[in-house]
Structure 1
């Protein structure tokens, strides 16, 4: 492997999980040129990774909009432009970490003679020269990517997620902390939101946790999220005096920097929570309808998952919206694990 392309275009959590693969490739092939194909915005997660030489952006949202508006000729021009860009790098190996048709087509467009897919399906297996079935210890964070690295006989090291914050993003985050009178290490990030509401903990639970956390630890709760989470965040903040609501105030790089400087993170199955583990911040993850891992790989990070017979249900709940798998996780239980991760 001399010129390597990693294809993992989204989502935030999945890119965090896949991040140690770049380091494993660098250790095993120190002279290789390594690029990562990723969607705009998410590329901020890998922009300062020393194992990655270049980011190549796939503007998926723009392509979808062109298709929906009937501008097929312009879309075809964009496809050809990306193909030319990819082929101009003369990749000899592509690793398709998503294993979907869309990622398989992107890998195929590169023209690389070796195209390795991880658990390829949806027809993408026919675009690969080799398919590695998904495997590994499903309880461990990043397990499927560790499995792929082992199958490729890479130097895996500890194979833990790792992120790197850009200095300018860190400066903006520190300015935001100063604006709100917050001190690094003396606040707790609440990562309460995802794009799938069945992964959410309950509003009253966050409010109770906020009050009890301040009393028990002295840490100031700070709520992070995107603009789409603003209404839900305002509802939580209205019943949690002392909580700082920064939802919608940060982009991904600044949010990552705020996570890195936190003294604690409590969150659901969402990208910000996984970032806490990547930055080795004391983290308590609350999982219910999904459970991507239970073994965080770090002593200062724990997962609360009740393991009910109906869980994980992912997108097919049977509880009629009761979400017992999350409702039965109490703030008191979370605080018990907060004490454990902070003392680890």
Structure 2
């Protein structure tokens, strides 16, 4: 295998989930030239450090320009379609490859596009599902998964709990009022921890809404937005991250930082690694939004399990205020 094409047209969090696949792909074919294919919309966080070349499929120009873009790829020995979008299927069809692998949601594409088609499961962590393509070839992935990212060190981490209250869609996260109430209560009930709200890279992902809580609670602050290069090491240095279904949580998973995920719009299992006992998911079987009591109980259980040497992390409100 001298030339390999990996199609992954997705957002920040999904790129994070693809990193172990790329690490293990390099282990399996150390001499191969690996091209990562994306589209103009999703250039942010492309794992360029794990490939040799990035191919950007033209999706905004004229039909002629888009056609030329599709025909620009050189022949490859093997193609992995890790996206299963209409654009990735067109690229898979047009790209000259000796072997094509994908996991289409519709079985008909197994016969039309792929030599090997695998079923995608929504009940296993996405990063592990992607490794099935390499297991087909007899490869033995290493565990815990290697994301080629800074790694959290439990013994050295300061008592900092990070919160990321934003998501790609507002309905996938708690309301800002709910986040204020949650962090305010967490600051009182977990007084030995510093509680830091992380701003997002978008202008509207500001922490200004927490100003009143930060002024009232000495152990609450807002971390201004930072670059992706700085975010990885910073995330690896906190004790835990509390957030919803977001790309930032996927980054925390990639650094093996303990996480408490809050789920109600999406199934938790696809974003919940079970190969290491560092992650917990808060969700209700009814599909309702978890309340502060559910979330803080989950946080207490997570911190107790991951950092038993620190003792009980939570105090009652009366004890915390005394």
Q: TM-score normalised to the size of structure 2?
A: 0.77
**Partner residue in 2 for 1:245:** 222
Give the 3 Å change call, closer, same or farther, for CA 195–220 of structure 1 in structure 2. same
Q: 1:284 aligns with which of 235, 241, 260?
A: 260
Give the 3 Å change call, closer, same or farther, for CA 188–45 of structure 1 in structure 2. farther
Give the 3 Å change call, closer, same or farther, for CA 57–132 of structure 1 in structure 2. same
Q: Secondary structure at the match of 1:330?
A: helix
Q: 1:194 aligns with which of 167, 185, 190?
A: 167
Q: 2:114 aligns with which of 111, 129, 141?
A: 129
Q: Which consecutive residues of structure 1, in runs of 5 or more, have no partner in the other structure? A: 67-71, 166-182, 312-323
Give the 3 Å change call, closer, same or farther, for CA 42–149 of structure 1 in structure 2. same
Task: Determine if contact 2:23/2:147 at 8 Å carries over to the other structure.
Answer: no
Task: Determine if contact 2:161/2:241 at 8 Å carries over to the other structure.
Answer: yes
CA distance in 1, matches of 2:122, 2:273: 9
Q: 1:226 aligns with which of 181, 201, 211?
A: 201
Give the 3 Å change call, closer, same or farther, for CA 287–137 of structure 1 in structure 2. closer
Measure how far apart 1:144 and its partner are.
2.4
CA distance in 2, matches of 1:123, 1:186: 51
Task: Determine if contact 1:187/1:264 at 8 Å carries over to the other structure.
Answer: yes
Task: Determine if contact 1:16/1:161 at 8 Å carries over to the other structure.
Answer: no
Measure how far apart 1:163 and its partner are.
4.4
Matches within 5 A, 1:177-192: 185=158, 187-192=160-165
Runs of 4+ that moved beyond 6 A = none
**Partner residue in 2 for 1:11:** 11
Q: Secondary structure at the match of 1:44?
A: coil
Matches within 5 A, 1:157-196: 157-158=142-143, 160=145, 162-164=147-149, 185=158, 187-196=160-169
Measure how far apart 1:268 and its partner are.
0.5
Deviation string 1:54-85 (CA, Å, 9 cap, x unpaired) is 3323455xx1xx4xxxxx2xx5225414532x
Number of positions where the alignment pairs a residue of Structure 1 with one of Structure 2: 295
Q: Secondary structure at the match of 2:90?
A: helix
Q: Secondary structure at the match of 1:340?
A: helix
Give the 3 Å change call, closer, same or farther, for CA 335–158 of structure 1 in structure 2. closer
Deviation string 1:229-264 (CA, Å, 9 cap, x unpaired) is 336x432444443543346x3343333343233332
CA distance in 1, matches of 2:107, 2:87: 9
Measure how far apart 1:96 and its partner are.
0.3
Measure how far apart 1:161 and its partner are.
5.9
Give the 3 Å change call, closer, same or farther, for CA 139–95 of structure 1 in structure 2. closer
CA distance in 1, matches of 2:174, 2:291: 7
**Partner residue in 2 for 1:113:** 98
CA distance in 2, matches of 1:28, 1:55: 20
The RMSD of aligned alpha carbons is: 3.1
CA distance in 1, matches of 2:203, 2:266: 21
Deviation string 1:161-205 (CA, Å, 9 cap, x unpaired) is 61437xxxxxxxxxxxxxxxxx98453321221122222123344
Q: Which consecutive residues of structure 2, in runs of 5 or more, have no partner in the other structure? A: 151-155, 309-322
